[in-house]
C-alpha cells in the first residue's frame, strides 16, 4: 500500500486550532532554552519592547504546523507512522498570546510513501507562518499509528 491509496494531491488537511496562553509560551521557551523575555514577561514585553502582548514563538507555530500534517495523515492512514523528513517555515507576521491560530494546509505532492504539504497558520485571516512539510509514511504493522 502506498500513500496514494488514501492521500491525494490537492487534499485539504483537517484544520487544527490552537490558542496559546502565557503558560504555553513560558513552557515552550523553557523547553527550547529561548530566553528572550518577550515570550514570558508581559510587562517587559509591553513596556520595554512596545509589543501589544507577548508574541507566540515562531518555532511553536512551526510545531503546530508539523502536528497538523502528522495528525491528519495518521487519521487517513491509521496503520502508518508518519515521520517528518524535512520542513521549512517562514514567519510572516506576529501572533500574540491568547490569539487563536488556525493551522491549515494542503497536500501538494504524493510520491510513493512520501507526502509533501504546504501549510500555514493564520490569526483573523492574516497569515503568520507559512511552510512546507515532507513526511514519509511507514507501515507499523499494529494497525494503529501509536
| Tens-digit pLDDT profile for residues 16-48 | 999 999 999 999 999 999 999 999 999 999 999
- Structural domain for 99, as ranges: 3-21+56-139
What digits encode the pLDDT tens for the residues 83-140?
999 999 999 999 999 999 999 999 999 999 999 999 999 999 999 999 999 999 998 8
What digits encode the pLDDT tens for the residues 55-94?
999 999 999 999 999 999 999 998 889 999 999 999 999 9
Number of domains in the chain: 1
Name the β-bridge partners of 123.
126
Question: Does 33 fall in a domain?
Answer: no
Question: Does 36 fall in a domain?
Answer: no
Question: Does 30 fall in a domain?
Answer: no
The per-residue pLDDT for 139 is 86
Question: Does 51 fall in a domain?
Answer: no
- Cell numbers 496562553 correspond to 21
Question: Does 93 fall in a domain?
Answer: yes
Question: Does 71 fall in a domain?
Answer: yes
Question: Does 40 fall in a domain?
Answer: no
Q: Cell numbers of 2, please?
A: 502506498
**Is the distance from CB of 105 to CB of 118 less than 8 angstroms?**
yes
Give me the mean pLDDT over the 6-17 stretch.
96
Terminal-residue alpha carbon distance, the chain: 19
Residue 43's contacts (CB-CB under 8 Å, 6 or more residues apart) are: none
User: CA-to-CA distance for 79 and 7, rounded, in angstroms?
Assistant: 13
Question: Does 45 fall in a domain?
Answer: no
**Is the distance from CB of 52 to CB of 117 less than 8 angstroms?**
no
Query: How big is the chain, counted in residues?
Result: 146
* Residue 16's CATH number: 3.10.129.10
Q: What is the pTM of this model?
A: 0.89
Amino acid at each position: 500500500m502506498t500513500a496514494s491509496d488514501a492521500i491525494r494531491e490537492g487534499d485539504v488537511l483537517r484544520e487544527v486550532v490552537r490558542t496559546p496562553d502565557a503558560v504555553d509560551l513560558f513552557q515552550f521557551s523553557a523547553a527550547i532554552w529561548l530566553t528572550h523575555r518577550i515570550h514570558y514577561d508581559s510587562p517587559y514585553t509591553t513596556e520595554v519592547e512596545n509589543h501589544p502582548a507577548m508574541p507566540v514563538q515562531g518555532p511553536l507555530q512551526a510545531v503546530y504546523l508539523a502536528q497538523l500534517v502528522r495528525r491528519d495523515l495518521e487519521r487517513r492512514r491509521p496503520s502508518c507512522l508518519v515521520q517528518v523528513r524535512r520542513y521549512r517555515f517562514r514567519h510572516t507576521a506576529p501572533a500574540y498570546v491568547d490569539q487563536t491560530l488556525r493551522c491549515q494546509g494542503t497536500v501538494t505532492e504524493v510520491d510513493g510513501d512520501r507526502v509533501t504539504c504546504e501549510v500555514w497558520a493564520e490569526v483573523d485571516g492574516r497569515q503568520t507562518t507559512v511552510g512546507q512539510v515532507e513526511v514519509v509514511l511507514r507501515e507499523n504493522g499494529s494497525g494503529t499509528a501509536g
